[in-house]
Structure 1
């Protein structure tokens, strides 16, 4: 796409954007009496205006129905998760039976690893990306130790080549193939939180299965960001949070995916709880766990109604947008425009002050650019915040900017770059 570095051009793109009206579905933050340009959806999505309505409906049910709310009212709590399942499935490329909203992300990762990390004396290793989000690292380390193995020998991390910032798909696949016969689980992030690299999930899944391993993904930075086809790709399991690109509020409820091919497998271990018990006979209170069919059988505690109501509000906006295909098209254009403008800043400065470590290929990234600021990185980030541009800081010198297609505009992107240009000129131009 041809871009121009001027406000009129950015505004013309917004006028042509069929998704632009969705911006009005969200509450935009302000600072010092002025609106903030929000570029931090990769960390916490904005609040839908409808969130309060959806939450109030459940608070009113609680107020007027009390305990009867479990079975009475417009959305009885006993079955409320079913209101979300079809919407969730459309975002991750699954059937409604294969997904379920429950718990929080790392809790779900542990619960799924109970079922799908089944090490033996010869096949016990886990392959994951180096630099995965720390919570994933801690979960994997503790699971390995729980089974009596040493993380130093049981966990294989695939790292970028020397001098490179992101992983090559061929290196990931080669590592999986090299450990054929000894790898029990391949567990990757769908998108790496630090670099913004979107991994080739179909290729990783295929290679993992060819090596005899189970394949799972943490989709914290991928669900609601990029198109996913978990069922068609044959992914065994996945989990994600809902508070980043899916705008379900801080600490929002998580979601899980379990491929339907595993539903008949009665040998799978799981940490069972009452809410995962067979729905029709759950209230008989009988001993002997019988799981509910599908992903719902991995539930443990009773449904979290208030967090689900916030997630429900956002999912309905995704439905209004047409789910992921139109959002992806806009997302790629927003991120490409941001890249174009940052490269123009470097050109004007006469050196590469801003090194983008997120892949250049649009198919290998989502709605995020991770940018190394070579000089005065923290000062520049703080100046951006002071100038009402809210991105995300990662030590030692990385600024993450995330234009989200549901609520960010091309004008947002233009003004972000314009303020970055002004700050750079002020802080980096030698004083005469």
Structure 2
């Protein structure tokens, strides 16, 4: 079972590299071809729409994404969505329609692909552990998150360099080809066997509410992650605006992103070594509290570039632990359809929350100022971590004395 796990991790790494470099190249293509600055965000903006609604339209699809060939189809759709813009550039028709269509197609594929990949990794890790392997879902999901974070650090500058070296058009074609190759490689990943047998077809679709109500620790974790996603604009937009206010445009956000990214990679390297020994809820509380404290301290470190980088590194070092703890909880407390539902809810709330935060963040910063908004987002994350943990422990304590007939199995079905 190690071979499909390694394949999935490598494919995740390749697809994330492509996504990060695409984020650099596409705005430049849009600006060069249309001459309108407002078009630069169309692909990213429209890619977020399917994500926000994935829990609704993806209900009949996510239960089918349980094997490599099924994921290969979604990956191929992602490659086709990426190809829309370079094909349009060849015929001189890069316009708002092409950009929006590319965003919708890639966003739809991405909304399905991320949760399905994590769920399949957890399925294989279950089978690997059942056969005597030493690594379960928590450790393998932590390795997958490491691949994601490494791509986050080096892919954007690599994409910027390649834009200068080869141009945006060839870069987009190369990225499309890389994702297409990943789709072909995905065909080699088999279907994972169910740890407890196949779930009857009538029970395949498990509502998100049932999954979260029966697993308070997961519910608290996804809420913490969702609030963390909403608050992300306090870091990204806040530092950008703060740099302008201190007459250091670009310097503070560059220092913050660099410190955050490098520290998050180092943290991700450590997580797989100890994740099986640490309590899940405590990991989440410490992680989101530390990230919130870092957000609140950043305005105090400005305008010192080294200080901003150091404080941002504190937040970056904390972030992987909370995500690893939530992924571990989902891997350990769910399986089958319930597992796919939980990973989808996690993705929708965190990534969708980040999109909504960025959408409203500029107006909020303009209203109250960058520094107060950064402090407010930090305090909100700390309060969410403390409140979420207290609620989860209280509800879990109450559920321990609930009559057995009212409890749910791992699949989210009453027993």
TM-score scaled to structure 2, two decimals?
0.27
More helix per residue = 2
TM-score scaled to structure 1, two decimals?
0.26
